[in-house]
Each structure stands twice: as C-alpha cells, then as structure tokens.
Structure 1
Amino acid sequence: MKVFLVGGAVRDHLLGKSVKDRDWVVVGSTPEEMLANGFEQVGKDFPVFLHPQTHEEYALARTERKQGKGYTGFICHTAPDVTLEEDLLRRDLTINAIAQTPDGALIDPFHGYQDLKQGILRHVSPAFTEDPLRILRVARFAARYHHLGFTIAPETMSLMVEMVNSGEASHLVAERVWQETERALAEPHPAIYFQTLHQCGALNILISPLTINQPTMPAAALNTLDAAVTTTQPEIVRFAAFIINLFASNELIQQPTAIGHFEQFAENIKLPNQFKATTKAGIQLLPHLTTTPLSEEIVWQCLKQADAVRRPERFTHIITAIEIAANELQQPLILTTDQLLGISQQFKQIDIKQLQAQGKKGKALGQAIAQQQLEIINKALAQISHKTI
C-alpha cells in the first residue's frame, strides 16, 4: 500500500499558491484493508475513503472506461494492481496529473510540471473527449490562470471543438454546468471562461436559446465582466451584469420575447432563484432607467418591481448590475446606483402608523404610501436636475 498526494494540491504548491484541500491516491490496497485501518468509505461509484484523523479524501487508484454519454457514462475499475500512472492517465490536464510522494518527490509521467512552467493547459490523453465536463473545467482554469499567462494548447482546443461538433457537449448536465459556471464567476478573469466556451462553440449550447452569431464575443459583455471584477462585485452581480449586457448586445432586451428567452435560458442551466430574480429584474429595468425623460412614475415602478424597500441587498445587486452593464453599453443610467438607493432609503421614513391613525387601511393605505413615495421621488428628481444644471 503506497500513498501519493495528487491533483490540485500538488499543482497549487508548485505554483506557489496556498493549498486548501489535499487529495490522496492509494496504490496497492483494497476497500477491506482501508476499512480495517480505520478509514470511512464515502464513495458509491468508486471507493473513496476519509482518513480517521484528518478526514482528507483517499481514493483507491482506478481506471475508467467509457460506456455512455456525458460525464456520468463511465465504468470505474479499482484493484491492487492498478498503477499510479494508470490513475493519472485518466485525469483531464497534465498540470492536474502530477503526484507527489510523502518525501516530496514528484512523479510526473505526462510532463505537467513543464506545462506549469510554460503556462500551458494541455490534455493528458485522447480520452479527454469522453467527458464533456472537461470543456468547462479547461475554460475555468483558463479564467483562473489568465493573469499568469496561461493559454490552452491548440491540440486541446481542437479536441474541445471536436466534442462540440460530435454532440458530446450536448450531454452536459445542467446542474454541473451551473456549478462550474458559478465557480468560474469567482475566478480572477471570468470573461476568459465565456470567451473560451464561445471559441470552441460550446457557449451557444449552454446559453440556449440566446445565441451569439458572431465570430467573437461582444466586447461590451466581456468588458462588463471585467468591470464587475475590478469593482470586486459578488458573483451574483457579475453574472447579472454580463447577461443583461449580452441581451442588450444581441438587441433582445427591448423585444417582447426577451423575458421568454431568459426564462428558457434560466431553466436550461437550472439557474438558482436569487441569480434568476436579480438578472431578470435587470433585463426588465435597464431600458427604463436609460431612457429619457425619466418620470417619477417610472422610477416608482422600478423601485417597486425591484422590491427596493423590503430587499435592499437584492435591490443593490440589481441596480449595480444594471449600472455596470449600461456603462459598458455607453448608455449610462439617468439615476446612479447611489441616487436610487438614496430614494429607496427615504421610503423607509414614511410614517405608516401615522397614516393608519388617519384611518387609512387596505387599498387606501397602499395608495397613501404610494403617493408619499412619488412625492419623495419627485423632490429627488428635482434636486438632481438642479445639480446637473
């Protein structure tokens, strides 16, 4: 029984980055031996065990054989005679196929360390094409290491294109698509993730029915993502700003079918509710907040639709995403995020109890609150107009 550190922990150590999680491969052992040594088995498809003290994952060395479509269509084989090199061979990229012995020696049969030094994302073997999820992983690594000068090997990009053209990429599971996409949004250069997917032809599959019929990604959409990263926005704002801009860049945003397209897109990738609500509101509100004249009625409807008073954090996300997208479209908001937030904060000063004391209730109370909100907006617009003059 021999144990080796593998994968991301070795890669990140060699890059001089902090190691968060460590994964181990065990060669020459059996499930029975692992259990006898106090390990707890957690894997169903193949034997993975938790160390009794560290709780780190130890997987028996295995090989894989393709039997169906998608990333789940594999038969795994584990046995004491499966070698470390055979286990490393099934991995996606050479930089993830480096192992390390307990005394620190590297075992690198596919020259991953050399690719690390040269900044190349290269597939380990032709078996790369058997798992469509690898398209997304390569794009995510490109987004992570772009600032270090990493590029995708031409032969690896060719395989990614082949996977799209053969239909293999169409078997991606929606939940895994979103999982990889959300992780990519947190990387230093998420625009590279989407740019890479567009380059290999996979993006239109993922964002269907919204398609990009251009040889390159719309620059405004990519710049929107970069701007959201530069201003350290959370992933939900990065995503919303990007999709809002993408709808506008494709001239869909003011069409009656815009929301229908978005709803289908959200369903296709199983978009979480928070991301869906924020992005949908942004698509709906952008045309109103960038078109003159901007009346108090339009502002009121926008604040109401965004639920600004009850959900200030969500409202901030919506307006921030709209503002970033609009700026890159060279259609700046007539009211800035701060100005809209200021108006919504004033709404909280309305004395509802006083209105109730005046006998207002039900529909009449709602109308009285709306009237005061409109007056607040009207005064704010007048002040902003005066300062502009």
Structure 2
Amino acid sequence: MPSRCALFCVGGAVRDVLLGEATSDRDYLVVGASPQAMTSAGFRPVGKDFPVFLHPQTHAEFALARTERKSGVGYHGFTFHAGPEVTLEEDLSRRDLTINAMAVDEQGVLHDPTGGLNDLRAHALRHVSPAFREDPVRLLRLARFLARWPDFDIHPQTRDLCNEMVHLGEADALVAERVWQELVRGLSGRQPSRMLNFLDSVGAWEAVTGEPPSPSTLERVGIAIDRGRALNLSAEVLAGLLFAKAQSGALEHVLPRPAQDWRALIEGGCVERVGRLCEPQAKKRAGWPEELLELAHSADLFRRSERLSSLLTLSAALLDTDASAREALGQDLTELLAFGVGEVAKGAARAKAPVAEAVSEARLAFIRSRIG
C-alpha cells in the first residue's frame, strides 16, 4: 500500500459479518492516497467512473475514498471526486443505507458515523442522507434487501424518500439490464414477494418493469413465488413465473434464455398439464397416455430432461399438487424419457414413413404397456 494512507474494509462485508452471515466479498477503501500513488505502488487501475484498483498479488479491489454530486438524471447522473483529502466519514456519508455505511480499520475497530449498528440490531433499513433519493438503483437495492431479510423493515422517512423518488421520475431512468440484475438477486432472497409488494406500494412497479400495476395479480404471483423459493426453485424459473403473460415486454430482451424458456412453458400451460396428471384417478382416464406424451412434448422434455424436477416443483408452488402424485408422475416421465426410439426412427426412415408419427406411436404403445 502507498505510505501515509489508511485501509478499511467497508460496506456489505462489514454488515454481513455483524449479522453473522457468510460473506466472500470484501470491499476495501483507501483513505489518503492519490491515483498516482496507487499505480506507483503496483496497483492496476480498473475503474471507469471512479478510481478502483486491483491489488498486484491478490487482485482484490481497492477503491479510493470519494465524494459524489448529483449532476444529471438517473443512476449515471453523478460527478465523483476522489483524492487524498477525502475522509472516511465523507465517503461513508454518500452511501445508501446506514447498515452499509460502516467500516473496519486494520486494527479491527468499527467506524460507524451514521448509526448503522443500531439499525442493524433494530432490523431497520434507513437512509444515510436525503441524497438517497438521487439514485434510483437504491430503490431496487432496498427492495431486494426486503426479500433477503424478511424480518427487516424500511424506516418511515426512507419510505417517504422512495415515494418522492418515484414522483420526481428518477425511477423512469432505470435501464432494463440493471433492473434485471437487482430483480434476480431479490428473487433469490428468502421472501421475494416483499420486493414485489414494496415496489408496487411506492408506485415504482410500472416504472421498473414496464408492466401496469395489478395488486391482486402481484399478490397471487408473490405467494406462488415465495412458495417456489421455499422449494428451492431457481431465480430463472421464478422470473419466468413473475413475467408470464407480461404485456409490455420491457424486460424481455434482458431476461436470460432460461427465464424466457420458463415463461413460455408457463404461458403454454405446462404447469396445468402437470396438475391434471396429478389428479386422483388420472391414470384411469382414457386419454391419459396421450396427456402424458403431450406434457413431455410441450415441455420439450425429450431434449431438456433436466427441466422435469423444476416443472414438478413449480406445480407444487402454483397448484399445490399432491406430493405422492408428483413423485409418481416424475417416475412415469423418467421411464418415458429413457425409452429408446432410435431404431423406430431408423425403421420409419427406411420405409419412407413419417418418422415423428412412428416415434409417437411407439411411445404411446410403451406408455400403455409399461407405464399405464
């Protein structure tokens, strides 16, 4: 490190340690150094908007203490200043929440100028300063913190700032890519519905997602998403559920392919097909073999067999399907997917007969004789 500078561990890493949570990320802050001093000490600059450097051996990130000033609209509308004269307190004062504005020095001493430790103990999400309303990404971060920690609540004055932020149009400046980055982290939280309900309550849902608000729909989907998260469904599956039947398509081009695939499966009725096949006495229906084959085709399970487990779990979250019925259906589908049709396809091709039809007939015969 450059001489005559102070090093601190800051932000989320300090918060998580105090919460007793495991953390792998470490954010380091350097006070009293210039960019030139950092490069002279062997650090490699990587920051685009403000000075961030990689350690020459560990490649850990070290940021210079900085201040910021609002100079435009949205989360890019800031001017930053970093220099050896910027103090630790000045750097911490620009952060979003008090629980993220704590630092630990090299002697292990906690620096907490905004009362973050008390808020952590009170399970309160409170802003550091009125400048909180200047960065709309903070709205999303706050929402996903609610999903991550179900026992935390937003300070009333912080909620007022969120309402003001939406009213001033700051949330309209969010871009879809950044929205998805925060939403997917919220969907990985312990109670994702809290994220959805908060964004709706402050009037930000449409600004954030492009979708018109529908409290009843959000409540219904939120319950299903919470159940799916408790059943360990991935964020991509939950995103497919969240944006199934979405109208605007504002986020569609940034949703990863798995999320888009799950959205299509849900909109295509695959979950309802699972529900029907899990009904009591479903196997006694005359068309049960065709229903089973149709589910396998509509969910593309013959090519994407890894979807089967999540599809069955999704039916539990959405339809509360019976566990033993899901297990039995899973076994039936596993047997069907393992049934080889290569020779059938080759024979049909040699006979110049429709291959797809021959394969379907062979699979139906297998279902009737071995499964049904």
Normalized against structure 1, the TM-score is what?
A: 0.83
Q: Which residue of 2 aligns with 1:308?
A: 301
Q: After superposition, give the CA deviation of every residue in 1:328-379 in whole Å (9 maximum; x if it has no partner).
A: xxx8799736515623532431342255246546662211001122334456
Maintained 8 Å contact 1:241/1:324: no
Q: Which residue of 2 aligns with 1:196?
A: 198
Using the alignment, how far apart are the partners of 1:284 and 1:61 within structure 2?
52
Cα offset for 1:76?
Answer: 0.9
Using the alignment, how far apart are the partners of 1:333 and 1:231 within structure 2?
12
For structure 1, the 5+ residue unaligned runs are 245-257, 384-389
1:336 aligns with 2:362: no
Cα 1:266–1:321 change in 2 (3 A) is farther
Using the alignment, how far apart are the partners of 2:118 and 2:221 within structure 1?
34
Q: Which residue of 2 aligns with 1:31?
A: 35
Query: What amino acid does structure 2 have at the position aligned with 1:7?
Result: G
For structure 2, the 5+ residue unaligned runs are 280-284
SS in 2 for 1:311: coil
Note the 1:28-107 alignment, pairs <5 A: 28-107=32-111
Note the 1:257-296 alignment, pairs <5 A: 258=245, 261=246, 264-267=249-252, 270-285=254-269, 286-290=271-275, 296=289
1:324 aligns with 2:321: no
Q: After superposition, give the CA deviation of every residue in 1:167-213 in whole Å (9 maximum; x if it has no partner).
A: 21111111111111111122222222222222222223334335314
Query: What amino acid does structure 2 have at the position aligned with 1:161?
Result: N
Cα 1:222–1:332 change in 2 (3 A) is farther
Query: What amino acid does structure 2 have at the position aligned with 1:48?
Result: V
Query: How many pairs does the alignment contain?
Result: 359
Using the alignment, how far apart are the partners of 2:21 and 2:316 within structure 1?
34
In angstroms, what is the RMSD of aligned CA positions?
2.8
Q: After superposition, give the CA deviation of every residue in 1:201-255 in whole Å (9 maximum; x if it has no partner).
A: 22233343353145x942x3222222222222222333334455xxxxxxxxxxx
Cα offset for 1:152?
Answer: 0.7
Cα offset for 1:120?
Answer: 0.5
Q: Which deviates further from its counterpart, 286-295 or 228-237?
A: 286-295
Query: What amino acid does structure 2 have at the position aligned with 1:114?
Result: N
Q: Which deviates further from its counterpart, 174-183 or 200-209?
A: 200-209
SS in 2 for 1:312: coil
SS in 1 for 2:74: coil
Maintained 8 Å contact 2:348/2:358: no
Maintained 8 Å contact 2:70/2:77: yes
SS in 2 for 1:225: helix
Using the alignment, how far apart are the partners of 1:363 and 1:323 within structure 2?
41
Using the alignment, how far apart are the partners of 1:275 and 1:42 within structure 2?
31
Using the alignment, how far apart are the partners of 2:370 and 2:307 within structure 1?
22
Cα 1:377–1:198 change in 2 (3 A) is farther
SS in 2 for 1:264: coil
Using the alignment, how far apart are the partners of 1:94 and 1:49 within structure 2?
25
Instruction: Choose from 126, 129, 140 the match for 1:125.
Output: 129
SS in 2 for 1:80: coil
Question: Percent sequence identity over matched residues?
Answer: 38
Query: What amino acid does structure 2 have at the position aligned with 1:267?
Result: E
Maintained 8 Å contact 1:289/1:333: no
Using the alignment, how far apart are the partners of 1:337 and 1:243 within structure 2?
28
Maintained 8 Å contact 1:350/1:372: no
